[in-house]
A = this chain, B = another copy of it.
Amino acid sequence: MATLPLLQDDAASPEARAVFDDIRAKRNTDYVNNFWRVLAHDPALLKMTWERVQQVMAPGALDPLVKELIYVAVSVTNGCSYCVHSHTAAARAKGMTDAQHAELLAVIALAAQTNALAHALQVEVDERFTAR
């Protein structure tokens, strides 16, 4: 149970409803997921977050699937259950194959392990990694 109730369409403010409608149009679905329905209690934050997601996740120097994999990696490392579920689903919707998913997990697990070792050993950064 969230700390704030999900806002159904008729309980949302007109500003929030406009974002819901934009989500539906851009994603070509009637479904608005829980994250947006809870965020709708603060329509300005809802709007800003939705706009930012579109800007950042759009095709650019990195393709949208690669961005989604990075999103999953951050969410896993932060232990955010909602985010892992929603962005794993998003990655699949953008074409992530089972083999890609398996490799994503292997990289995340490896990085978690070497991050822990570097923290445990307090390894000093090599000069060549910092000098430019």
Q: Do A114 and B77 have beta carbons less than 8 Å apart? A: no
**Chain B residues whose C-beta falls within 8 Å of the C-beta of A84 in the assembled complex:** 3, 119-120, 122
**Chain B residues whose C-beta falls within 8 Å of the C-beta of A18 in the assembled complex:** none
Q: Do B85 and A130 have beta carbons less than 8 Å apart? A: yes
A60 and chain B: residue at smallest CB distance: B103
Partner pick for A74 among B33, B73, B123, CB 8 A cutoff? B73
**Partner-B contacts on A (CB < 8 A):** 1-5, 31, 33-35, 38-39, 41-42, 45, 48-49, 52-53, 56-57, 60-62, 66-67, 69-89, 97-126, 128-132
Q: Do B121 and A39 have beta carbons less than 8 Å apart? A: yes
**Chain B residues whose C-beta falls within 8 Å of the C-beta of A97 in the assembled complex:** 61
Q: A84 to B102, alpha carbons, bound, how many Å?
A: 23
Q: Do A125 and B45 have beta carbons less than 8 Å apart? A: no
Q: Do B122 and A74 have beta carbons less than 8 Å apart? A: no
